Chains A and B, each alone.
Chain A
Amino acid sequence: MSKVAKPLAVFVGLLVIWHMAVSVFDIAPFILPGPLAVIEVAISRADILLGHAAVTFMEILLGLVFGTMLGSASALFMAYFRQARSWLLPVLVVSQAVPVFALAPVLVLWFGYGMAPKVAMATLIIYFPVTAAFYDGLRRTEPGWIDLARTLGASKAAILRQIRLPAALPAFASGLRVAAAVAPIGAVVGEWVGSSAGLGYYMLLMNGRVQTAAMFAALFILAIMAVAIYFAIDAALRRLVAWQPEADPAAFT
Chain B
Amino acid sequence: MQRPNRVDSDRGPSVSLRLRDTSLGWDNSELVRNLSFDVPAGTWTCLLGESGVGKSTLLRTIAGLIEPRATTQVLADDGAPVAGRVAFMAQQDLLLPWLSAADNVALGARLRGERTDAARVRDLLERTGIAARGDARPGKLSGGERQRVALARTLMEDRPIVLMDEPFSALDAITRVELQALAFELLAGRTVVMVTHDPFEALRLATGVHVLSPGDNGSHIAMVPPGNPLRDPTDPSLRDSYRQIMEALGKRGMTGSPASAAA
Residues of A within 8 A of B (CB): 142, 144-145, 147-155, 158-159, 162-163, 166-167, 169, 241, 243-245
Contacts and interface: CB of A to CB of B under 8 A. Distances in A.
B217 interface: no
A151 B139 contact: no
A153 B97 CA distance: 20
A159 B113 CA distance: 11
Given A243-B139, A245-B139, A151 B87 contact: yes
B157 A144 contact: no
B96 A163 contact: yes
B60 A147 contact: yes
A154 B97 contact: no
A153 B63 contact: no
Interface string B65-92: 1000000000000000000101110101
A151 B113 contact: no
B98 A166 contact: yes
Interface of B: 60, 63-65, 84, 86-88, 90, 92, 94, 96-98, 107-108, 110-113, 137, 139, 157
Contacts of A167: 96
Among A155, A243, A245, find the residue whose CB has the most chain B CB atoms closer than 10 A.
A243
B116 to A, nearest CB: 13
Contacts of B111: 149, 152-154, 158-159, 162-163
Given A158-B112, A162-B111, A243-B139, A144 B63 contact: no
Contacts of A148: 88, 90, 94, 107
**A contact face: mostly helix, strand, loop, or mixed:** helix
30 contacts: A142-B92, A144-B90, A144-B92, A144-B94, A145-B94, A147-B63, A147-B65, A147-B90, A148-B94, A151-B64, A151-B87, A152-B112, A152-B157, A153-B84, A153-B108, A153-B111, A154-B111, A154-B112, A155-B112, A158-B112, A159-B111, A162-B111, A163-B96, A166-B96, A167-B96, A243-B98, A243-B137, A243-B139, A244-B97, A245-B97
A244 B90 CA distance: 22
B137 A152 contact: no
Contacts of B94: 142, 144-145, 148
Nearest to B163: A151
Given A144-B92, A166-B98, A243-B139, A152 B65 contact: no
A158 B112 CA distance: 7
B224 to A, nearest CB: 28
Contacts of B96: 145, 163, 166-167
B112 A243 contact: no
A145 to B, nearest CB: 6
Nearest to B90: A144
Contacts of B97: 243-245
Nearest to B150: A148
A42 B111 CA distance: 56
A152 B108 contact: yes
B142 to A, nearest CB: 14
A153 B83 CA distance: 10
Contact of B65 (A151, A153, A169, A244): A151
Contacts of B87: 151
A163 B98 CA distance: 10
A125 to B, nearest CB: 30
A134 to B, nearest CB: 16
Nearest to B165: A144
Nearest 4 Cβ contacts at the A-B interface: A154-B111, A152-B108, A243-B98, A151-B88
Among B84, B94, B137, find the residue whose CB has the most chain A CB atoms closer than 10 A.
B94
Contacts of A151: 63-65, 86-88
Given A144-B94, A166-B98, A158 B107 contact: no
Among A152, A155, A167, find the residue whose CB has the most chain B CB atoms closer than 10 A.
A152
B66 to A, nearest CB: 9
A142 B91 CA distance: 13
Nearest to A246: B139
